[in-house]
Every structure is written in C-alpha cells, then in structure tokens.
Structure 1
Amino acid sequence: MNLLFILPHVPWPLDRGVYQRTFHTLRELSRRHTVDLIAIDENGGSARHLPVFQEFCREVEFIPFVHPPWEKLFPHRLFQPLPASVNHWRCPELTTILERRLSKNSYDLVHIMDLVLAPYVLEHRNKVPFVMDRSRVDLQFQLMEHRALNFTWREKLLRGEGYLKLWLFEKKVAHLAAMEVVCGPDDETFLRRYINADMPVTVMVNGVDLEYFRPDAVPGTRDEPPTIVFCGAMDYNPNIDALNWYFAEIHARVVAAVPEVRVLIVGKDPAPEVKARASLPGVTVTGSVPDVRPWYLKAWVQMVPLRIGGGTRLKIVESLAMGTPVVSTTIGAQGLNLVHNQDALLADTTEDFAAQLIRSLTDPALRENVREAGMATARERFGWPAIVRGLEKRYEELIERLRASKTV
C-alpha cells in the first residue's frame, strides 16, 4: 500500500497517549508499506525530530503552526459553519502541501488523525479515499466534559453554540470517509447511535511497546511505604477533573485506612491546581519526567479515577505491562475489556473507589494476583505489532473493495 498520513501533531517524544498511538501505527505500517508523513508542528521547534521519522517514512514534512486567536461568538464564530474547535486549526500551508503531494504521488489511502484535519481532505475525497483515525470522538468527549465540569454560563453558551455544529460536521465526515478508526467499542457505539448507523467503523485499541515497558527494563523496586501513582498529561481537563474528584472525596478515606500512603502525580505541564496538591502530606507532583517507567515501578498501584472518557487510556496498558496493578473507573478502562478482580480493580462511586484502593494497598496476595493477570493480558492483547496488523488487514480489504467498486 501507498499511504499518506496527516497528523495535527509531531508524535515525538512519546509523552502523550495519542503520540504513542500515531507513532507506533506509522512505524508498524512502514515495515511493509510505503508511508509519507505531513505533521502540523504546533508552535514550531520539532524540526530536530525529523530524523526519527525519516528512518521509516519515505517523505516527511513538518509545518510550523501557531493557532489563530479564538474568534468571538458574534459575529464571526456565530456565522462560521465549522465548529470552533475545528476552525481553530485552519492552516493554509497544509492545503498547499496536500495539493502538491496528491498531484505528485498516487496514494491508496490518506490516513488523518482526528476531526480537526477533516476540512483539508474533504475537497479531495474524489481523488483519494481518506480514513479518519480518532483518538477520541469529539462530540462524545465534549458532552462528557459538559456533564462533569462546572463551566461558567459564558463557557456553557460558547460550548452550546458548538455542539450542533459539531454534530452536523461529524455527520458530514461520517458520510464521506471511507472508514473511521476508533479506540474502543464504546466509541463505535456512540458513532453508530448518534452520528451514522451505517458508517464503516473499525476498532483499533491502544497498545503498548512490550519491549520498552517491561519491569526488568529499568532499575527500580516498589517503594517501602504504600504508594499510589497517577500518570498522564497534567494540563488535560479529564486528568485534572480526576484528581479533583480523588482529593475532594477519596483521598481522606484512603489515608484513614492507610495513614502512611504516598501519592505520586507524574506528568508534564501540571496545571496550577495540580501543582497545589504537592502541599498535601505525602503527595509529590513531578512535572515532566524523562522516563515514566521508574515511577510505575515505585508504585504499588496506579489509580485512574477518570470521569470523562472517549478513546482508551495508554496509562492503563503501560501500567499492566510494567506489573503495576490498576484501580480504575469503568470510564477510565473504557474499551479495554478488563475483567474486574482479575486484570484490574474497577469502581465508579466514591466509596467503592476508595475501597478498591485500600484493598490493593493492604492485601499483598490480591495485589500479586492482579499484577500477574494484568501483565499476561498486556502481553496477549496489547502489543502494537498485532494491533496494527489488524488495522492493516482492514485497510487491505477496504482498498480491494474500493477498487472492485470502480470496475463495476
């Protein structure tokens, strides 16, 4: 296959879940197919990473990009047919580069990451089919945010204006895309129920680099005091909300049962309210770390108290592969088909989440059983080569079907 990937980010370094998804998809497909890459370089500065991708992609271009200011509701935004979250990614240079690439090369498929890039390929859909890869379903995610977060009346007004536009744009893209790729069955269910029941959708769960995320790949041992870790991008609303819920309603219950417990908050760009948690006894906020694996090894358990979902959490599959048991909400473990009390401990209420954390910290036999089962599940189901091979097969079937339809 001859493939063109268009990304709204440069997926390096691999410090965000979506970066890992796109990087490993690119690298695995390039082992057997020709892959070209165009990536938007937010705020510039990623040119030094070009050699990483030139090792396995035929042609690579990064486009330095600064987001335009958010438009005011009236008059510009109100009369703009595109959702504001999509229009915020307008990049004329990408239009020029894409037209040049399509005139120069014959591609079997154009693979784009996320809805924000759809406007650039819609006008070329008759030249080459495109596939939409979704790190999350935007409308589903925004509706979850709306329910979980306390927005001001002004924020609610601005968001409400965008929901209808986003729904209409989602329906347009679903009608024109050759296929959409989502992270889990819950995303597929949402698309079929609210966007287009007949749209072609395939599920490609997020995976883990099993050679890199191994407990014996880095030095380190479990810390002596009972330790909980929470990993992720700490400027991301769902992670901020998860920590707010944990510290407001759960942490005191855990401390009452396990007074010596420590909490490690590990991830880049912590928001001010996340940084403030470091003032609490036994709580550490690390900020960006060069390697997350030693922090998994320090912890007795990883908590994932997410209330806003969509996609699948790579922090969970990384934790499983590293042998660190997971306590998660069902939304946090969405799309992974983990078995409660076997692969992980699952809980959704304040009382139950606290109880599962306490169980994991005070019951060594339970912790060891969940650790072993989680590692086995990671090895069996979440290696990137097998996951991407499934996507590759769907692409081959899609291309064959499209070619056959042209000959009829």
Structure 2
Amino acid sequence: MGEILFLAHRMPFPPNRGDKIRSHHLLKALARLAPVHVGTFAETQEDRDHHGELSAIAASIHMADRTKPLVLAGIQAVLSGKPVSLAAFHDRGLQSWVEQTLAAQPIDTVVIFSGQMGQYLPDSFDGRVIIDLCDVDSAKFEAYAEAGNMAWINAREGRLLAAEEERLARRADVTALISESEAALLRSRISPRAEADIRVFGNGVDTQFFDPATGLDQAPYDHRGPNLVFTGQMDYAPNVAAVERFTHRVLPELAARYDAQFHIVGRAPTDSVHELGKLPGVTVWGGVPDMRPFLGAATAVVAPLSIARGVQNKVLEAMAMARLVVLSEEAATGIPAQDGQHFLIARDDAAMVSKLRDLLEGRRDGRAIGAEARQFVANEMSWEAIYEQVATLVQPDGKNSRAA
C-alpha cells in the first residue's frame, strides 16, 4: 500500500464535537496503516492551536481558514447551481494543494470525510477512494423543509445534496455510513445498476476517557435536587430544538413536583438558547473544558431529539459515564442497545415525563441501568474495537502495511 490523502471538512483536533470526534479517530486509525497527508479547514483559534497535534500524526498538512461568509457561499451556490454546503467549503488554496500532493506523493488511496469534501477529488485519480458520508445529510435538509423551516432554501439544499451523495457513492470504491438505517436510506436512493459498495462504519466512544472512575469528584451543580442534563453543540439546529422542547414540554411538571433543574451544556449557544437560561430551573453553561464532571453528577441525561442523523456521541458518552439516558427514538438510532436495560426510550413528551418520574420516585434504578450502559459501550462500541474495521475499508485484503 502507498500513502493516504485524508480530506476532512473540519480540523480533526480537538475532538470536541460529533463530526470532529469521528474524523479524529478515523485519522488515527488510518495513520496506523500508512503515512497520511491531511487537508482540512480551521474555523476557530482553538483549531489552529492544535496544529502541532495534527502535525505529530500527519505526513503533511494543509489547513485552510474557513472564513467565507454564509451569504457569499449562498450567492456562489445559486450562481453555480451547487448546494450551499459545497460552496461554503470550497477553497482554491486547498484545491491547489490537493492537486500538488497527488502529483508529488505516492498516494494510492483518498479518504474523504463528509460529502462537502468530495468536490476536491479529481476525476483523473485512479486509486482507491473511500468516502465517509457519516449520514445522509440531504435527508436532514428535507426534514427541515417538510417542517416549514425556510422551506424553499432547505428543499433546494436537500435536492442538490442528494444528487451529490449519489454521485459520490457511484465514484467511491466504498461509501461508509454511521448506521445501518443511514446505509439503507442511501441504498434506496441509488439505482441498483450503480453497484455502489455502501457499508456501515459505526461510531465509538473513548471508554478510558469517559469513565466514572476517573476521580472527577467535583460536582458542578450547587442544586441538591434532581439535575437533568443535555450536552451538545448548541448552535446546531436539532440540539436547539431539543432543549426548547424539553424546557417547555417536559421540565415544568418535573420542576414543580421534584424541584428538578435542567442544565444545557455545550459550545456556542444561540441567542434562543441563552433565553432559555432566563427561565426558572434552567441553566445554560455554554462550552466547558471537560464534559465529564457534568455528566458524572447528572441524575439523568436527556436527549429528546426530533431530528437525529446517525449515532449520537452525546448518548454514547453519557452511557460510558454510567449515566441513565432518557432519549427519543431518533436519538437511539444506530445504537444496538436494549430499551429498559441500557437506556430508556421515550416516544413522546408524555412518555419522557413518565420515565423520568419513574426514576425520581424510585420505580427505576438509574444506577443499575447506568452500570449496564457502561458495560455495553465498553464491550461493543469502544473506538479501539472500531479501529479494526478501518483496514477493511481502506485495504481490500485488510493488511496493515506498516506492520507488514
């Protein structure tokens, strides 16, 4: 095997949000197989501060600054007939670096992380192509449009992204999705004549890092009553909708009966999320240096997502911390755990209230379910176990060229 070109739409360090966690571990797995050249985007100073960590694992790097305003990306998308998602991540400097790297280095495999980066793959490349779409992103925009959220814009984005996803699946030797439901959805959108190789490459969790026995005893909550916690990137629309749903439809009864408080923990909260923090019983923490104390001190972790594509890292991390998770069916997608044994699925708001009441009144043993959850993810969904799948994606014979 030669060398690998890895293209990711976000800097894989630090692994502090869902897509970055996945790309981070995918990169680490690839680096075990062969030298990896990395092209990516930096969005924040925090990204740039981790350049040294990326340098330690990569053979070469091009880190483009993602500074293009969304309005400009929208104009470019309309003029070019492309999705806004592609226009937002198009950079001439990165395009030039990709072309030069492919010409100068012995690269026989290109691994593309997320559909936005497929535009950088030249038609002339005749080596092996692996595309990790994670999930069928077009379906998310279609759902936004169906819900009446900027319907024309999101319908256009969904339609054009669906065409790009089909193009990439036809172009790739292997297209990876995060769960069987996402893989089945993509297969249903592609003609059987395309003979696309679509496989599942699941998400994992670092069970050594997310471990309730790590000695993180400092509880961040002063409140002595039940502390219910939601974690996630808080400028991501499905997360915003989830915390608004919980605050207005679930929390009031729990706060009145049990003095429960709701804690929203995660980076970049929107103005609407900050407004929730002004309500009684709701605290918006924003970004925190370490999520583990917030999870470890939670009475329960909630994930009432209505739109959820792929596997939710927030759920895996809470399970690894031996917390009881009460979640929607959508948030449970792609996690082959058992309802009632490893977490509790609530199919509507009333069910979520009921299951949390069962916990708070002692009819459910949250500690026992949390312990089962921890054992499940340690056995079935650790990143170390998932690393073994990467060689089969990249190398048809599954051999490790560095170990050979």
TM-score, normalisation: structure 2: 0.91
Residue segments in structure 2 that go unaligned for 5+ positions in a row = 400-404
1:162 and 2:161 correspond: no
- Name the amino acid aligned to 2:58: C
Identity %: 23
Aligned residue for 1:281? 280
Partner of 1:242: 242
Residue aligning to 2:198: 201
Q: 1:106 matched to which residue of 2?
A: 106
Q: 1:47 to 1:85 in 2, by over 3 A?
A: closer
CA contact (8 A) 1:108 1:399 kept: no
1:177 aligns with 2:172: yes
Alignment length (residue pairs): 393
State the 1:337 CA deviation. 1.5
Q: Is contact 2:268–2:287 with CA below 8 Å preserved after alignment?
A: yes
Kept in 2: contact 1:16–1:233 (CA 8 A): yes
Map 1:4-403 onto structure 2 (within 5 A): 4-42=5-43, 46-70=47-71, 77-78=77-78, 80-124=80-124, 126-148=125-147, 150-151=148-149, 155-197=150-192, 198-220=195-217, 224-258=224-258, 260-363=259-362, 366-397=365-396
178-187 or 164-173, which deviates more: 164-173
- Where in structure 1 are there 5+ consecutive unaligned residues? 401-408
CA contact (8 A) 1:278 1:285 kept: yes
Give the Cα separation in 1 of the matches to 2:257 and 2:323.
Answer: 21
- The answer (yes or no) to whether the contact 2:141–2:155 under 8 Å persists in 1 is no
Change (3 A) 1:45 1:264: closer
Task: After superposition, give the CA deviation of every residue in 1:181-231 in whole Å (9 maximum; x if it has no partner).
Answer: 111111101101123444211212211111111111142277642111100
For residues 292-316 of structure 1, the C-alpha deviation after alignment (integer angstroms, 9 at most, x for no partner) is 0000011011000000111211011
CA distance in 2, matches of 1:288, 1:313: 18
Deviations, residues 16-69 of structure 1 (Å, cap 9, x unaligned): 111111112212332343222111123667433121122222222212232255
Deviates more, 1:171-180 or 1:90-99: 171-180
Cα offset, 1:267, TM superposition: 0.4
SS in 1 for 2:165: helix
**Rounded Cα–Cα distance in structure 2 between residues aligned with 1:331 and 1:189:** 16
Letter in structure 2 aligned against 1:286:
W
CA RMSD for the aligned pairs? 2.2
Instruction: Check conservation: 1:257, 1:358, Cα contact below 8 A.
Output: no
Deviates further, 31-40 or 225-234: 31-40
Work out whether residues 77 and 84 of structure 2, in 8 Å CA contact, stay in contact via their aligned partners in 1.
yes
Q: After the TM superposition, which segments of 4 or more aligned residues of structure 1 sit over 4 Å from their partners?
A: 71-74, 76-79
For residues 256 and 174 of structure 1, the distance between their equivalents in structure 2, rounded to whole angstroms, comes to 51
Contact map agreement 1:109 1:129 (CA 8 A) in 2: yes
1:255 CA drift (Å): 2.5
Give me the whole-angstrom Cα distance separating, in 2, the residues matched to 1:169 and 1:304.
Answer: 30
Contact 2:342 2:376 in 1 (8 A): yes
Secondary structure, counterpart of 1:279 in structure 2: coil
Q: Distance in 2 between matches of 1:44 and 1:319?
A: 28
| One-letter amino acid of the counterpart of residue 336, structure 1 | I
What SS is found at the alignment partner of 2:365? helix
Give the Cα separation in 2 of the matches to 1:229 and 1:73: 35
Structure 1 residue 269, shift from structure 2 partner:
0.7
Secondary structure of the corresponding residue to residue 134 of structure 1: strand
The normalised TM-score by structure 1 is 0.90
C-alpha distance 328-18 of structure 1, shift in aligned 2 (>3 A): same
CA 1:97–1:179: 2 relative to 1, 3 Å: same
* Greater mean alpha carbon deviation, residues 286-295 or residues 28-37: 28-37
The alignment partner of 2:262 has SS state of: strand
- Alignment partners' CA distance in 1, 2:46 and 2:319: 33
Moved more, 53-62 or 201-210: 53-62
Superposition deviation, residue 364 in structure 1: 6.9
